[in-house]
Amino acid sequence: MFQDLSGHQLVFVLVSMLIGMSFHEAMHAFTGHWLGDDTAAREGRLTLNPIKHIDIFTTVLLPFVMILMRLPPIFAAKPVPFNPDRVKYDEFGAALIGVSGPLTNLLLACASGLIFRSGLVTSNGISDFFVIFTIINVALFVFNLIPIPPLDGSRVLYAFAPEPVQNVMVAIERMGLLAIFAIIFIGWQFIGPVILNLNQSIAYFLLGVSG
């Protein structure tokens, strides 16, 4: 869908990314705060203001480059900090913080899909927005649940993994942005088709359209 977008559709993509990212990151912060850690609150991340969550490289430059490469625009916000020593339930608390962001995107996608399917939206332009908003939030949900550090899904895997696997995950997470770029530019040829098919299946289901 990203090869032949009109001007207003590109604006819808940008708006959808900002909204989805803001809710995603804010929910990480709210969940951490609910579990007893005020690190995110002290850094001003308990907010839906997208400016607080933008990272120039992963939020702006990465999706721009991927659009130029005619790939779905994957992006990441500035990570929400938390102190695992202050979070309730230890590793399981960290898993709750991790999964809260992607699940928020899934809920946004479900709500958007229901509005699109309701028949209440009669304008083609507004329909385009709900379709794009659904697709973007499904993509955020699926991509962030990949169980590879530093993505959110790794927090869930870490909570249940044996110690040797946890040690490997910690080593990968220390790579930071390099790990994300490795996933996209090296591992994408292997996991890309699976991710795209899953994105499409979920989005089509929520929008009530056939493949």
> Averaged in consecutive runs of 10 residues, what is the pLDDT profile of the chain (211 residues)?
70 90 95 94 92 84 74 75 90 94 97 92 86 94 89 92 91 79 76 89 93 63
Residue 100 resides in a domain? yes
- Let me know if residue 187 belongs to a domain: yes
Q: Which of 143, 128, 132, 121 is nearest to 187 (CA)?
A: 143
- 2 assigned to some structural domain: no
pLDDT of res. 34: 96
The span from the first CA to the last CA of the chain, in angstroms, equals: 13
**What per-residue confidence (pLDDT) applies to 33?**
95
Q: How far apart are CA 165 and CA 163, in angstroms?
A: 5
Q: Is residue 1 part of a domain?
A: no
Domain that holds residue 168: 7-207
Asked if residue 183 belongs to a domain, the reply is yes
Domain tally for the chain?
A: 1
Q: pTM of the full predicted structure?
A: 0.89
DSSP letter string over 148-183?
STTSTHHHHHHHHS-HHHHHHHHHHHTTTHHHHHHH
Q: Name the phi and psi angles at 137, rounded to 5.
A: -75, -30
pLDDT at 124: 79
